[in-house]
Amino acid sequence: METFESERAPLPRNMIENSMFEEEPDVVDLAKESPSYPIDSDDAVYEPRSSRLLVRGLGENDLDEDEEDYESSARLLGMSFMNRSSNQRNVASSYTRQQYSESCLKPSTKTTVVGVLILVLVASMIMVIYFLPGCTFTRKGCKKSNSTMDSIYPISTSGEPFPWTELRLPPSVYPVHYNISLHPNLTLMTFQGSVSILVQVLNETKNIVLHSSDMNISKVTFEGKEVHVLEYKPWQQIAIKFPEDLKKGQYVLNINYTAQLSNSYDGFYNSSYVDTNGTKRVLAATQFEPLAARKAFPCFDEPAFKSNFTIKLTRERKYISLSNMPKVKTTDLKNGLQEDEFGKSVKMSTYLVAFIVAEFIGVSNNVSKTKVSVYAVPDKKDQVQYALDTACKLLEFYNTFFEYDYPLSKLDLVAIPDFLAGAMENWGLITFRETTLLVGSNSSSIDKQLVTSVIAHELAHQWFGNLVTMRWWNDLWLNEGFATYMQYMSIETVFPELDMDTEFLNVRFKALTKDALNSSHPVSTVVSTPEQVEEMFDSVSYEKGASILLMLNATLTDGEFRKGVIEYLQKYNLSNTESEYLWDSLSQVSKQNLSVSKMMNTWTVHKGFPLVTVERKGTQVTLTQEHFLLNAENSTDDRLQYIIRSHSSLWHIPLTYVNDSCSVPSSCKQVFHLKDKTATLNLPDQVKWLKFNFRSDGFYIVHYDEEGWKNLIDALKGDVTVLSCKDRAALINNIFALSRSGKVSFRDVLNLMEYIRNETQTAPLTEALFQLGQIFRLLDKRSEFNLASRMTSYIDDHFGSLMESQSWDLESSVSEMTLRSALLEMACSLNIRNCSTQAKHLFDQWFISNKTFQIPSDLMRTVFKVAAQTDEGWGKLLDIYKHSINDQEKRKTLEALASTQDIRKIIWILQRSLDGSVIQTQEFPLVINAICKNFAGYLYAWDFVKENWDKITQKFPVGSFAIQSIIMSATSQFSTKTRLTETQNFFTSLGTNGSQMRIVQEAIETIKLNMRWMEKNLNALQKWL
């Protein structure tokens, strides 16, 4: 699966001039029913509150923190209603989410005592159920039956004991083949299903346990005889109990059921869109990864239960149906319906099953023995050709690279109008967002870069994930890290003009940032609960996974990496693996006497990454490694320090370096394997300077002694080309990280940045802009307007002439476009260098010409954001948003709409994107992200998230990447104690509906880091900026 995050480099919009509300806004009661569009009139309903959200000129930090009373200051800031909904949080399992309203009556003492006793009793029973077996959530270790446990089982829906006590299914019964018949009714939004599962009993057992969720099961037969089924809803399991042990052998289990087509984005869900004639069209599609196949048909829904599937779909004649395999037959049924039958699938995991019933049309081409097709809604049929050509080229590449041909005779790529992830790699039927598959006639190479990336990622999954699958979700990185790495590698080879190299470098920086937090986790992590499974779809699995594979490939020589991968695929095709299997295959081909397994385990088993400190005395270089943790220093908590020290890890680092005599070509690279805490490297000759981590191919950061930094900076000031642009970008990235951790002062950061006036390359410039933009936003959100203004001057001073020299014309290279869009977005948001005037001019020309005059696609968002700041411009953009049939243009328009500083409009967008009217709910995370970039709306957005938490988690699963994105967008710019307390209180109040998420720890940690950075640097910034 490809997650869909908003882009990495959100640039600030200057709020200095506009930060004081032109009109003091009344606080809007978010809980009230929203005004229906339009906003342009005065009829938008507002609920003035007695308190103002922000008092003109009074920023949060004007409060004395010592005297700060949380309640009163929160009230002053209009936040007193922040926990209003917390009392209503349900405490049911996140699986069931049963609603109950808590009474507000104050209980008597007696009631309280009785209540506490009951709670203690219930808690004890739960403890007994969960902990007595000692292995409730593990697969291993439960082999011996525990006679004392026989009677302690969960209670099924019917009141009888449910015969299984674990989240993972028992291994005694294995599915061999599924026959699935489904009839979705797109008028009633329901479906009828019947599944016949041929099961193999591996060990004698009295029970068959499998998954099923949200279904009305009408009839179950086993070997043709009707049997009774038990259901335990919290774990989404059903079971059939037999009076006698089932002997080893094969049996047939039949289940008939009905269910609703889901309204969220997983399971078998309904989706709709309005065509260009204004007619509403409906369709049904699937998204099963990770845990939603069980919502479409009862099944053994774990990746290791691979099986064959034969699928039949009943539909009306106007629709087509698609599934993983080619259609083998269509039968006419009564009532004008038709039934499509698809060929028997290859052996695969349940999460890869897929089917669609829709009015799509497609185009096709053949690659070797495979028919490749791209499908979309009819209105967008002229936007599919690019994807088809790209998919064909990449399929050819992978067939050759893996020396293993894609095994199916067809491969469909389908653009779904309503889709949450970026894309999903279902075997033979890959589903995409429209944005990640369709390319319009005026799309730029940057738009194509996104589409190509996602296609390359999903195609790589056909081998990594589909053919060879991780055994359990703890090793999700084997799927995602590999697909992410292959996406960059394949595009660099097949489409070098797309400049994926720089993109991959940014991805590594992003992964480093996240992994430097104490709340991060090892690449391979124990997971049990559904929320933990959802949380694995994060930067560590994808981006760190890809980064450590790059580091390994850069360490191995002579194509050993590819050889090892080919061997791994040959050996484990159609089966399941763990990380170790991959390392073993790579160790076997390595001629360097390198134990890949030993080295790589240090990168997958420990969380975080090392900081390498380099100290040089003449030709002797002392190298030291330590776990780089942003919060490790300055902690006064001895216990925390102890925990950090005792968990500190050693990595096997294939440390690379270059020096002043040879520093840019690959042949200059030298390698030193640092395995211990400290080591000494003796240089053969005297050198002026050393730069470690060549091209930032390794997943670590480097700190030099004072002399080391000075020599590097001096060298760059003399001639920037003494280092590759990736090395220059890495120096910038590393010094900002070191400053954040407190290891260097901000003065040192500015020292390095002095060289930037001579810089012309995309990677270092965009990294510098990203880092400075982040600091600007923190200052801005703290209402440190004076400092923010000085930061603006600093950026103007260092980047201004480059900003001015950018062209606003159509198309240049991807690298040039990436650079100019970053520079101009920054310039327009800071309102410097005449950028806004130019953007406004372009927008007017475009609008007047009825879009025949083109705005370069890479500048569209910048231009639209400027236009969105007036009522007139905003109205025009809303109209464009509603009628555009180009999804990429639409998303840029939406980001611009959300960049408005008009609170009424912000509220309206928030409400419309959550309820899915006008703005699709799939865009809600993007909307939150875009609003939170600006001063005007970020507190409203945060309030909105809190007020609507239950609604949000009904749409997006707890722990999912959408929820991760929403939380980080809303909270990552807080830097005060008030906000910290408030954030902690809110998440604590969620109980089982989110308080345990790792992303919550990450959010809290980020706020604390921001606070510490501000504390340390505010005064320094006054002096230095």
Residues in contact with Zn ion by the rule CB under 5 A: 1-2, 480, 483
Under DSSP, the state recorded for 869 is T
- Beta-bridge partners for 84: none
Report the amino acid identity of residue 921.
T
Token pair for 202: 């591996």
CB within 8 Å of 282: residues ≥ 6 apart: 186, 189, 270, 271, 272
480 annotated to a ligand binding site: yes
Peptide linkage before 764 cis (omega within 30 of 0): no
Q: Taking the complex as a whole, how short is the minimal distance between the CB of residue 368 and Zn ion, in angstroms? A: 24
CB within 8 Å of 1009: residues ≥ 6 apart: 517, 630, 631, 740
5 is catalytic: no
Query: HSE on the CB side for 790, CA within 13 Å?
Result: 11
- Among 793, 867, 863, smallest CA distance to 830 is for 793
Token pair for 66: 């010592």
Does residue 658 contact residue 671 with C-beta atoms inside 8 Å? no
Q: Taking the complex as a whole, how short is the minimal distance between the CB of residue 425 and Zn ion, in angstroms? A: 6
CA dist 465 and 354 (Å) reads 15
CA dist 172 and 205 (Å) reads 7
Whose Cβ is closer to Zn ion: residue 1's or residue 909's? 1
| Displacement of CA 492 from its chain's centroid (Å) | 23
Does residue 819 contact residue 765 with C-beta atoms inside 8 Å? yes
461 annotated to a ligand binding site: yes
Secondary structure class of 626 (helix, strand, coil): strand
Does residue 569 contact residue 402 with C-beta atoms inside 8 Å? yes
Secondary structure class of 395 (helix, strand, coil): helix
| Displacement of CA 455 from its chain's centroid (Å) | 17
Q: Taking the complex as a whole, how short is the minimal distance between the CB of residue 461 and Zn ion, in angstroms? A: 5
DSSP one-letter string for 564-591: HHHHHHHHHTTSEE-HHHHHHHHHHH-S
Q: Taking the complex as a whole, how short is the minimal distance between the CB of residue 391 and Zn ion, in angstroms? A: 16
CA dist 595 and 652 (Å) reads 10
Report the amino acid identity of residue 473.
W
Whose Cβ is closer to Zn ion: residue 384's or residue 460's? 460
- Among 59, 68, 66, smallest CA distance to 16 is for 59
Q: Taking the complex as a whole, how short is the minimal distance between the CB of residue 423 and Zn ion, in angstroms? A: 8
Does residue 821 contact residue 860 with C-beta atoms inside 8 Å? no
Helices within 899-948 (DSSP H only): 903-915, 924-932, 938-947
Q: Taking the complex as a whole, how short is the minimal distance between the CB of residue 473 and Zn ion, in angstroms? A: 13
- Among 999, 898, 907, smallest CA distance to 947 is for 907
Whose Cβ is closer to Zn ion: residue 177's or residue 457's? 457
How far separated are the first and last CA of the chain, in Å rounded?
Answer: 44
Q: Taking the complex as a whole, how short is the minimal distance between the CB of residue 2 and Zn ion, in angstroms? A: 5
H or E element: which one contains 198?
strand 190-201
> In the chain, how many H helices and how many E strands?
30, 29
Token pair for 302: 């774990």
457 annotated to a ligand binding site: yes
Peptide linkage before 163 cis (omega within 30 of 0): no
Whose Cβ is closer to Zn ion: residue 901's or residue 960's? 960
Q: Taking the complex as a whole, how short is the minimal distance between the CB of residue 455 and Zn ion, in angstroms? A: 12
Name the catalytic one among 458, 895, 923, 982: 458
Whose Cβ is closer to Zn ion: residue 429's or residue 653's? 429
Task: Give the residue carrying structure tokens 């994930």.
Answer: 465
DSSP one-letter string for 307-371: BEEEEEEEEETT-EEEESSPEEEEEE-GGGEEEEEEPPPPSB-GGG--EEEE--EEEEEEETTEE
Whose Cβ is closer to Zn ion: residue 483's or residue 737's? 483
Q: Taking the complex as a whole, how short is the minimal distance between the CB of residue 131 and Zn ion, in angstroms? A: 35
Q: Taking the complex as a whole, how short is the minimal distance between the CB of residue 479 and Zn ion, in angstroms? A: 6
| Binding residue numbers for Zn(2+) | 457, 461, 480
| Binding residue numbers | 457, 461, 480
Residues annotated as catalytic are 458
